[in-house]
Amino acid sequence: MMLLLLLPLLLLLLLMLLLLLQLLLLLQQLQLLLLLVVLQLLLHCYCYYYYS
């Protein structure tokens, strides 16, 4: 009987953990994207000053 009461709670907890993991992965991807953009910008600035 107690298990039946705990089961929905456990499922909810699992779902929340999965959502959190998804969010962390998304943040990691965004961080990588931001890093690439910054590197590209730096390269662009470097080339601009180098050739001018």
DSSP string, 1-50: -HHHHHHHHHHHHHHHHHHHHHHHHHHHHHHHHHHHHHHHHHHHHHHHHH
Residue with the two structure tokens 């709670």: 9
Query: Which two structure tokens, joined as six digits, stand for 34?
Result: 């931001």
Query: pLDDT per residue over 12-52, tens digit each?
Result: 999 999 999 999 999 999 999 999 999 999 999 999 988 88
0.75 surpassed by pTM? no
pLDDT at 1: 65
Comparing 8 with 17, the larger pLDDT belongs to 17
